[in-house]
Every structure is written in C-alpha cells, then in structure tokens.
Amino acid sequence: MKSLYIECKMGIAGDMLTAALIDLFDDASEKVNELNRLGIPHVDYVLEDSNKAGIKGRHMRVMVHGHEEGESLDSHAHDFEEHSHHHRLLSEIEQIIEGLAIGEDVKNDIKEVYKLLAEAESKVHGIAVSEIHFHEVGNLDAIADITAACYLLHCLAVDKIIVSPINVGSGTVKAAHGVLPVPAPATAVLLAGIPYYESETIRSELCTPTGAALVKYFATDDGVQPVMRVSKIGYGMGKKDFEQVNCVRVILGEIEEDKEQVFELSCNIDDMTPEEIGFATEKLLEVGALDVFTTAIGMKKNRPGILLTCMCRKEERDEVVRELFKNTTTIGIRENVCNRYVLAREIKKNDTQYGEIRIKRSYGYGVDRVKPEYDDLVELARKSGKPLLEIKKDIVK
C-alpha cells in the first residue's frame, strides 16, 4: 500500500509541509511551475534549497505582490499589506478557490480544510461559521500554503497518510486577537483526537492552525512510523533556527496491506429453531465475533441442518467458544486459523444538496471506492420525501 508518513518532531506548518512534499518529486521545479499556474491572485511560489544542521532540504517562499510574509514593508508595499492581510469571510475564500485552475476534487479538499478551520474558530469565539473573519489563515499566503499542500498530495496519490505525535512547542504566540498560549486555541481544537505534546525547551509556536487543519483532514492514522519499504524522503525547512533541526520530514513508501489472523469456529446443528439460532447469533456478536453466518447442509440420518460459522480474533476466541456452547445445542466445535485481508477504511462527512452525509472510503490492493452511509441515506430520504434510490444516484456520481 502506497503510504506517506509525516514526521512532526518540530511541529507542522503549511509552508513546511508543502516544501517537504515537493522535495519528494524528481521534477520539483516543474511542480513549482504548476503551482504558479493555478492562478492564486498576486501570489508566486519560489522554491529554495535550504540547509539546517547539515541537512539538505527545501524551503517554499510564498510571494504576495513580490513580498514574503514577515518582510519589512516600506511605503511602496502598501498593496502587499492591503491584499495579504485582508480579513476574509469563508465565502470570500471559497470564491478565490472556485477561480483556481485546478480539479474539482482538489478544490473540494481545500474547501474542507478551510471548513475545519472555520469550525475551530467558531467554537473558540462562539460565533457562527458564516460570520468568522479569518485573520492569519485568511491571508493569501495561507491560502497558497493550503492549496499547494492539497495539490501535491493529490499528485502523490497515496493510499494512506500516517502522522507522528506532533510537537506543538510552548510559550505564547502573538495573533490578531492578542497574545495567546501555545497551542493557540483554534489549533488546540483542531488537534483534538490527534496525539501531540508540549516541548520543554522550545519556546515558540511549532504547530500552526494551517498545519493542524491539513493533518486533521488528510491523516488516516497516527502513531510511530510503521514498517515501510521506503522509496523517497523529503525535508521541508522552517524559517527559524533551533538547536534541533527545524523541519517536517515526509517518508514515502510501501507498507504491507492490512492483514490479520482470525479464527473460524464452526459446528453442525439440526435441532434448533430459526428463532434460537437468531438469538445465538446476537450473543456471539455481542462478545466480539467479527461475523456469524449459517449455511444449509445435509446431516446424518438424512436430516437437513445448518453449519453455524463464527469468525473472531484470538483475543475473543475463548469467550466466543463459551457463548457457542452456552447458546447452541452443539457438543463440538471445529477451529480453523485463517489469514484475513482487509481494505483500509475511513469515513468523512460531505455536504450535499440534501444535507450532510457520511461517506465510507475503502482502499488498498489497487482498489479505491466510496459508499454513502446507508443510515444517512435513509434519514435524508425521510427528511426530503424523495426516494432513497434517487438520493443515492444524485450523491454517488
């Protein structure tokens, strides 16, 4: 399975992730040209080589009206200050996104990342998403960072993205609303459910809201680096210098498809009613069985019967065996050990013309497919009064 591991020992920011991703491409210069052709107003990408602590990597400069954020501005740079630091509503940002020369799937990814940012800001400030005025993350350079990261991840076309625990730094950070603790409140909301830790030695913001939102949206798993057959490594360097090399490292490679060992427990039954079999099935699933099913068979003395089969993991095997004996009339259970191959799975929420719906994605082994959550389809059908099949057809295109 083609996988990407994002190492965040020095946090993560949009520009650092972009630089690390582009470092994976043999044709990095052409990728920069592609980014510059996307059509973000007044923005140019400039890729530079960077060396920190003896490590060669990349640094991506986002130029707005010819200036990079943080540069000292003179009287001739009024346009940069006015356009780059304009406070934008989500609807204004979406208008910019719609005007980009980029595929609809990438546009949707960019919008979803901004939706996460808006929801985090809404929760922190206690105001509606539609009323959120983006400050730092509404600047053109932030839009450029998010767009570039989404585009490059689309080009890499990986099946799985894993992120390490994130170092958020410590201390305080100056923002539009004043001096805030690290991680900033919106960043902390975005990091909910993602392992992160505070640095004892680095008094600086290492994880930005943009970086947190990108990880929140794209990462399908977290933890230490899995066993990988590595093909490429990219380094995206930050602007600041610390004792530890300030970079995001991304590792591209192949990991073994998800495989686990399961136990198949089965028995023949010819003296139980369908209702009793149904109850036994429920009890087996309650104690952790992965699947329970029946097969019609012919038994001794020409009696029709059923083969009751139960699949479970090793950890639940003993409990499942007890429940089989307890809730069926069998006096013997057969066991086979099987390898179980499964597709990786994730669930994301999508906005549709009928309302919000969860979409299941299953991928791996060269397969990538999506399917709407059935319960959500039923709920939308009830609310709209339209046939379920019509709603499914409109959503799955």
What pLDDT is recorded for position 326? 96
What pLDDT is recorded for position 137? 54
What pLDDT is recorded for position 177? 67
Within 10 angstroms of residue 102's Cβ, the number of other Cβ atoms is 22
Q: What is the overall mean pLDDT for the chain?
A: 88
φ, ψ for residue 323, nearest 5 deg? -70, -35
What pLDDT is recorded for position 19? 97
Owning domain of residue 384:
344-395
Residues 272 and 247 in one domain: no
Residues 250 and 263 in one domain: no
Whether 258 shows a pLDDT value over 90: the answer reads no
Residues 281 and 153 in one domain: no
Domain boundary among 228, 254, 280: 254
Residues 222 and 281 in one domain: no
What pLDDT is recorded for position 86? 57
What pLDDT is recorded for position 322? 96
> Closest Cα partner for 279 from 304, 303, 311, 308?
308
Q: For a pLDDT cut of 70, what percent of the chain falls above it?
A: 92
What pLDDT is recorded for position 166? 97
Confidence at 369, pLDDT banded by 50, 70, 90: confident
> What pLDDT digit, counting tens, does each position of 333-364 carry?
999 989 888 888 888 888 888 888 898 888 88
Whether 78 shows a pLDDT value over 50: the answer reads no
What pLDDT is recorded for position 80? 37
Least confident span in 211-215, 261-265, 367-371: 367-371
Residues 156 and 134 in one domain: yes
Across the range 261-273, mean pLDDT stands at 94
Sign of CA dihedral 128, 134, 140, 141: negative
What pLDDT is recorded for position 133? 67
Joined tokens for residue 52: 């920190």
What pLDDT is recorded for position 261? 84
Q: Which tops the pLDDT comparison, 261 or 144?
A: 144
Judged on CB neighbours under 10 Å (0-12, 13-18, 19+), 258 is: middle
CA 220-226-232 angle, to 5 degrees, is: 90
The CATH number of residue 295's host domain is: 3.30.70.1380
Residues 246 and 263 in one domain: no
Joined tokens for residue 275: 């209702």
> What pLDDT digit, counting tens, does each position of 224-256 carry?
898 899 999 999 999 999 989 999 999 999 987
Q: Which tops the pLDDT comparison, 309 or 69?
A: 309
Domain boundary among 190, 219, 254: 254
Across the range 286-305, mean pLDDT stands at 94
Residues 169 and 188 in one domain: yes
Joined tokens for residue 78: 């009024």
Residue 142 contacts by C-beta under 8 Å, 6 or more apart in sequence? 14, 134, 136, 210
What pLDDT is recorded for position 84? 43
> What pLDDT digit, counting tens, does each position of 156-197 carry?
999 899 999 999 999 988 876 678 888 999 999 999 999 999
Looking at the structure of the chain, the number of domains it has is 3
Least confident span in 191-205, 319-333, 363-377: 363-377
340 in Cβ contact with 296 (< 8 Å): no
Dist. CA 284–CA 17, nearest whole Å: 46
Domain boundary among 254, 285, 309: 254
Across the range 10-20, mean pLDDT stands at 96
Whether 124 shows a pLDDT value over 50: the answer reads yes
Residues 242 and 288 in one domain: no
Whether 16 shows a pLDDT value over 60: the answer reads yes
Within 10 angstroms of residue 341's Cβ, the number of other Cβ atoms is 11
Whether 56 shows a pLDDT value over 90: the answer reads yes
Residues 102 and 153 in one domain: yes
Residue reference for tokens 């998800």: 258
Q: What is the 8-class DSSP label of residue 66?
A: T
Residues 79 and 182 in one domain: yes
| Maximum mean pLDDT: which of 81-85, 142-146, 247-251, 360-364 | 247-251
Joined tokens for residue 51: 């060396």
Whether 279 shows a pLDDT value over 50: the answer reads yes
Residues 100 and 205 in one domain: yes
Whether 85 shows a pLDDT value over 60: the answer reads no
Joined tokens for residue 120: 């985090």
> CA 157 from chain center: how many Å?
13
> CA 277 from chain center: how many Å?
40
What pLDDT is recorded for position 74? 38
> What pLDDT digit, counting tens, does each position of 197-214 carry?
999 889 999 999 999 999
Count Cα atoms within 13 angstroms, Cβ side, for 394.
15
Residues 295 and 233 in one domain: no
263 in Cβ contact with 33 (< 8 Å): no
